[in-house]
Structure 1
Amino acid sequence: MVQKGKYGLTIVLSFVLLLVTALAGCSTKEKEPAAAQSPSVSPSSTASTNNGGTDNGKGGLPAKYEPAIKLNTVMANYSYTKFGQGDTTDDNRWTRFIKDKYGIEVHSLWDVPFGQYEQKVNLMIASGEMPDFFGVTPLQFKQLSDAGKLEDLTDIYNKYASDSIKEVIAGAGAEVLDSAKVKGRLMAVPWTGVAKEGVPILWIRKDWYEKFDLQPPKSMGDVLKIAELFATKDPDGNNKNDTFGFALNKNLAENSLVGFLNGYHAYRDIWVKDASGNLVYSDIQPEMKTALTQLQALYKNGWIDKEFGVKDPQKVEENIGSGKIGMIFGDMGTAASPLQQLTPNNEWLPFPVPSVDTQEAKLQIPLNIFNYYWVVKKGTAHPEAIFPLMQTWLDLFYNNTSEELYKQYNYDSEADIASWMNAPIKIYKTKRATNHLAEMKVMNGESKDTSSLTPEQRDNYSSMQKYLAGDKKFWNVYMQDGPNGTGKIAVDYLEKDLYMPTQFTGTPTPAMVLKKANLDKLRDQMYLKIIQGASPDEFDQFVEQWKKLGGDEITKEVNEWLKNK
């Protein structure tokens, strides 16, 4: 969903931030960058572009090309206004900036909505005509690499990618860059994503939390006790037994379930390494049985809605909006959407997902790419020229502190023009933690004014000041960026590396293509049956079925991929 706002497009991920479906790799269906705030202006701890695009971490970026060089590409868009008056795909604010600064003329062969992009690229590949650089899905990447159509970027990346580019790609996770390698050679640059901002966060209604004089939950045992209180002690004071501990719906891929599972060291639909270093499927591990058995106890006790199995997310949101639910496993942007919309007069408090034991909970993430890899056609004269384009993106989109440049190159709210979509190359990065740290420096007096903040950070800071002055409609910003908001949790998650990324980053294996969809249905049926009262031993029966019906075959293929990648 795309919402218009003062500081750009607010890109909301209805996640499952699984930019991955079938192989816990990555989906080829486009989703927008995951951040509850606009991606058009994210923070940088090291750079400021008041002068129009400088960066402290230039590394080995090539100097300006003189005479100018030309690069062809293809583009995808969100069907949203992105051109100013007189601008075109080949002649706009971004292409002019790039030509003036780096001597690179970027020409786009075509520009289509994201929904049409994959098919258009397939047709282009089949025709044998490819541009100098473009974005491809994982499957297209494999096909082009196998066919010898791609430039080897290993040495070029090491020599010409700036420190700041490398920092963004490393920050996505070591497995992300590794996924772009073939036989140890870097054959693409990942279009990095923001999966680390889509991980679960536990949200608790503030008024109910205060009514029972609660403390921050330190374990999943504490979560269960709070669920019991909210379901049995009439938190809304209407003398009716009509409230529930936390939200759950029939969409079992959402954080409402995944957050609970992760608290028990159980993971949904990813591949993890066992003690011997082999890859195993997360859903058949014993921790899953433990977590489902505990959910069954909650169900039997009535601490979660016994009709959750037939309720879609929208129906559960109605329950939240009517004040019947006290906890929800959401993500870092849940305060803004949907909680602010559903309960504008009721604040919610964020907490990290606690663990069932002394080992901290790790939050699962898919392969952290935005569905695509940036590739360069073999034989392109200047393959290194993609890195000035990436640097321009980081400088103007993430690092800029100028309101004027923000309006010019990212989003003009008065004209309703999203110029950032004209950037020929994009890579995304996690920003919640950086926003929080930058804004807290100003709030705590470490920085004298807001001039060091990006426009988005300044807007957040202003909203938090309004909240502290009594305007409660800004509680969502305060609970996200404030002293104890999701930004602080993001810092903790990052510093402790509390992520469990999928370890399979290849394209679907033959058995996956043929059998995984049916195995997924079998798994989801097992989830529901056990939660709703079936013997937990049905989990063991499911494991045996899963193995016999193709799971063992898939596991063998996955581990063959691991050995040969």
Structure 2
Amino acid sequence: MIKRMMLPSLSAVLIAAAVLSGCGSDKETSTGEQPERVSDTTVKKDPATGLPSKYDPAIVMETVMANYSYSKFGPGDTTNNNVWTRYIKDKLGIEVRSQWDVPFAEYEQKVNLMIVSGKIPDFLGVTPTQFKQLHDAGMIEDLTDVYANYASASIKQIIDEAGAEVLNSAKMGGKLMAIPWTGVAKEGVPILWIRKDWYVKFGLTAPQSMADVLRFAELFATKDPDGNHKNDTIGMGLNKTLGDNMMVGFLNGYHAYRDIWIKDASGSLVFGDIQPDMKNALKALQTMYASGWLDQEFGVKVTNKVNESIGQGKLGMFFGNMGSASSPLQQLTPNVEWLPFPVPSVDNQAVQLQIPLNIYNYYWVVRKGVQHPEAIFPLMQTWLDLFYFNTSDDLYKRYNFDAQSGIASWMNAPIKIYKNKRAVNHLVEMKVLNSTDKDASKLTPEQRDNVNGIQKYVQGDKSFWSVYMQDGPSGTGKIAVDYLQNDRYMPTLFTGTPTPGMVQKKANLEKWRDQAFFKIIMGGSIEEFDKFVDQWKKLGGDEITKEVNDWYKANK
């Protein structure tokens, strides 16, 4: 099976949960006309939404584009003449013109040059720092009323579901000055993966606490789970970055949070790295390392090296994410099945899984003085209709991804926001799988792929194991439902741009932190943590904490 397209850097296949809305025609035309900008008085408004059903005459909206390193154009298509631009002009009466289209690696620098020049297009995606620069320079439009009056219910729902802090982060002085390019951080939260054959061999049951995680690690490291009569297996994987899910999943089980700002009992913001729960988690890792249950070479291993241990059949357990079933697991161990579990807690307090600010690196801003700032919302709605809400295979192939040609047309959409929906996907697919008529006509093309893959796995085709384990009845989708319905997330509560103290001192503070954590895990005194906290505060941490709380009080 050829899996549907995945967005680069996103944690899971992006899935829709509703039927096609607002894009009933797939007619594509290009008149070749160069429509003039028009005033609001010439636009016929749709009284139901305040938006015109179509701008007539057409309006022009200028932007800039970024791309990934794979094909997005069909034969003869260009940045300003492709299936998306033609559809948008024909359907909405909006001619989107891009001043340039560069790889994402070059995008930020190109936008910086535009900001310095004082000239930006009608709308564009900008980083948080660029967002603040444009606001402070008075170059972008206040979107408070525009969002309230013109954004559809589905747009507002997706932004709300990203987290209240996400929309708040787009406000300056109480005014909404941007629309967040929402991300999928809630789908990247940790999942505990355990080798099924080792799990069965020792008669284990689902881990109920972090004590079980340590017990499993001991069994996998010391009881010869692969049966080769050698002491060559690893209980739990970890790598030297100390910042990805392998580490964060373990920390969160101890209510410890790395590199995010959380609220203390007094209501002030404090840095997760220096809290007492972090000391408890490091003590547990120290015990695992000293006992030989933790990878003894983690201090020099990058993720790929940990994956080598997985592929060699030497690793029994690690904290990954919802997409780990596909990569690295099925990719590296096609004949071995793994079991996913939610992160267990060290005590009776529910686990909260840390997430960064849930944006995809950017905010959508509109140039101050643009005649039709509301036009970004029909563009955004078209993205949702074609990418997420579409149930037509033909439209999916035309506007999103053509598996045969490898053309990822979705990248031509001028505005995108992403939705967290694996939990919704799981519920929808399970409803179809459990129904008597098995009607999949209202599913999206990608959901139909998942249902078909689940059914093929159940029928004995083990090559669909990763599909089943991500979207099946006992897979990560089920865990995602629990995470979402019980709001098992701990978002960072500082969503501003870097403070002056952060700019000057954060890099050194992070260096000292990592050195202290490595030293503790590998056998140094646990009291090194208290020394680290004291040093962190004296060498800039207290200054940064004050700046963060000043920001928090001003932006509550």
TM over 0.5: yes
Residue 409, structure 1, aligned to residue 385, structure 2: no
Residue 299 of structure 2: aligned partner: 309
Counterpart of 1:220, as a letter, is: M
- Tell which deviates more after alignment, 375-384 or 209-218: 209-218
CA apart distance, 1:9: 3.3
Residue 178, structure 1, aligned to residue 151, structure 2: no
Distance in 2 of aligned mates of 1:104 and 1:36: 32
Residue 155, structure 1, aligned to residue 145, structure 2: yes
Residue 18 of structure 1: aligned partner: none
CA apart distance, 1:503: 0.5
Structure with max Cα Rg: 2
Residue 492 of structure 1: aligned partner: 482
Distance in 2 of aligned mates of 1:300 and 1:112: 49
Of 348, 355, 365, 1:375 maps to 365
Equivalent residues of 1:409, 1:419 under 8 A apart: yes
Residue 560, structure 1, aligned to residue 556, structure 2: no
Distance in 1 of aligned mates of 2:230 and 2:78: 61
Matches within 5 A, 1:95-244: 95-244=85-234
Cα distance, 1:401–1:210 mapped onto 2, change above 3 Å: same
Residue 506, structure 1, aligned to residue 496, structure 2: yes
Counterpart of 1:251, as a letter, is: T
CA apart distance, 1:139: 0.5
Cα distance, 1:384–1:33 mapped onto 2, change above 3 Å: farther
Residue 420 of structure 2: aligned partner: 430
Residue 6 of structure 1: aligned partner: 2
Counterpart of 1:74, as a letter, is: V
Distance in 2 of aligned mates of 1:130 and 1:466: 51
Counterpart of 1:470, as a letter, is: G
Residue 36 of structure 1: aligned partner: 12
Counterpart of 2:182, as a letter, is: T
Counterpart of 1:521, as a letter, is: K
Cα distance, 1:446–1:370 mapped onto 2, change above 3 Å: farther
Residue 545, structure 1, aligned to residue 535, structure 2: yes
Equivalent residues of 1:60, 1:161 under 8 A apart: no
Distance in 2 of aligned mates of 1:62 and 1:346: 55
**TM norm structure 1:** 0.92
CA apart distance, 1:466: 1.3
Equivalent residues of 1:279, 1:558 under 8 A apart: yes
CA apart distance, 1:395: 0.4
Cα distance, 1:61–1:239 mapped onto 2, change above 3 Å: farther
Counterpart of 1:45, as a letter, is: A
Question: What are the Cα deviations for residues 333-385 of structure 1, in whole angstroms up to 9, with x where unaligned?
Answer: 00101111111100011100010111111100000001000000010000000
Residue 259, structure 1, aligned to residue 249, structure 2: yes
Q: Secondary structure at the match of 1:9?
A: coil
Q: Secondary structure at the match of 1:332?
A: coil
Residue 45 of structure 2: aligned partner: none
Residue 353 of structure 1: aligned partner: 343
Residue 320, structure 1, aligned to residue 310, structure 2: yes
Equivalent residues of 1:272, 1:279 under 8 A apart: yes
Residue 329 of structure 1: aligned partner: 319
Counterpart of 1:9, as a letter, is: M
CA RMSD of aligned residues (A): 1.5
Question: What are the Cα deviations for residues 290-346 of structure 1, in whole angstroms up to 9, with x where unaligned?
Answer: 000011111111111222112222221111111111111000000101111111100
CA apart distance, 1:52: 4.1
Equivalent residues of 1:226, 1:245 under 8 A apart: yes
Q: Secondary structure at the match of 1:288?
A: helix
Cα distance, 1:62–1:359 mapped onto 2, change above 3 Å: farther
CA apart distance, 1:35: 3.0
Residue 247, structure 1, aligned to residue 247, structure 2: no
Matches within 5 A, 1:43-58: 43-45=16-18, 47=20, 51-52=24-25
Distance in 2 of aligned mates of 1:326 and 1:401: 40
Counterpart of 1:475, as a letter, is: W
Cα distance, 1:398–1:446 mapped onto 2, change above 3 Å: farther
**TM norm structure 2:** 0.94
- Tell which deviates more after alignment, 59-68 or 175-184: 59-68
Residue 23 of structure 1: aligned partner: none
Question: What are the Cα deviations for residues 192-227 of structure 1, in whole angstroms up to 9, with x where unaligned?
Answer: 000011100000111111111211111111111111
Q: Secondary structure at the match of 1:35?
A: coil
CA apart distance, 1:488: 0.6
Equivalent residues of 1:33, 1:370 under 8 A apart: no
Residue 409 of structure 2: aligned partner: 419
Residue 518 of structure 1: aligned partner: 508
Counterpart of 2:202, as a letter, is: F
CA apart distance, 1:61: 4.5
Of 269, 277, 286, 2:276 maps to 286
Unaligned 5+ runs, structure 1: 12-31
Equivalent residues of 1:59, 1:163 under 8 A apart: no
Q: Secondary structure at the match of 1:141?
A: helix
Equivalent residues of 1:278, 1:559 under 8 A apart: yes
Residue 366 of structure 1: aligned partner: 356
Counterpart of 2:128, as a letter, is: P
Cα distance, 1:533–1:515 mapped onto 2, change above 3 Å: same
- Tell which deviates more after alignment, 376-385 or 119-128: 119-128
Q: Secondary structure at the match of 1:129?
A: coil
Unaligned 5+ runs, structure 2: 27-47
Equivalent residues of 1:43, 1:398 under 8 A apart: yes
Cα distance, 1:7–1:204 mapped onto 2, change above 3 Å: closer
Question: What are the Cα deviations for residues 392-419 of structure 1, in whole angstroms up to 9, with x where unaligned?
Answer: 0000011111000001100112222111
Distance in 2 of aligned mates of 1:64 and 1:50: 13
Distance in 1 of aligned mates of 2:460 and 2:105: 43
Matches within 5 A, 1:259-278: 259-278=249-268
CA apart distance, 1:125: 1.3
Counterpart of 1:325, as a letter, is: L
Q: Secondary structure at the match of 2:5?
A: strand
Q: Secondary structure at the match of 1:6?
A: coil
Counterpart of 2:390, as a letter, is: N
Tell me the number of residue pairs that the alignment of Structure 1 and Structure 2 aligns: 534
Counterpart of 1:298, as a letter, is: M
Distance in 2 of aligned mates of 1:538 and 1:60: 61
Question: What are the Cα deviations for residues 66-113 of structure 1, in whole angstroms up to 9, with x where unaligned?
Answer: 111111111111132111122221121111111122111111111111
Identity across matched positions, percent: 70
Distance in 1 of aligned mates of 2:504 and 2:67: 32
